[in-house]
Amino acid sequence: MNTSWQDVVIGVVQWIFALALVPSIAGPHKPAFETSMITMILLLVLVGVYVSLGLYAAALCTFLCACGWGTLARQRCKRDRP
């Protein structure tokens, strides 16, 4: 597999974004549900774009970031439920 420099750069940036979500996932404060859902959906759109361009490392790392935002959405939903 021949990985382009763009694939590596996007993948590393998305990996850092995913790691940056860990304190929010582990902490008590959660972003708004709508913010988390919109971010997750748009990141999943990017996953599709990256796969279509053959940027598989970027797609994988972006998918992990989307999963982090999905986790935050789920946590916020659970917290707000009466």
Token code pair at residue 48: 């599709």
Would you state the pLDDT for residue 76? 96
Rounded CA separation 10/56 (Å): 10
- pLDDT of the chain along its 82 residues, tens only? 568 999 999 999 999 999 999 999 999 999 999 999 999 999 999 999 999 999 999 999 999 999 999 999 999 999 988 7
Would you state the pLDDT for residue 1? 58
pTM of the prediction?
0.91
Would you state the pLDDT for residue 81? 85
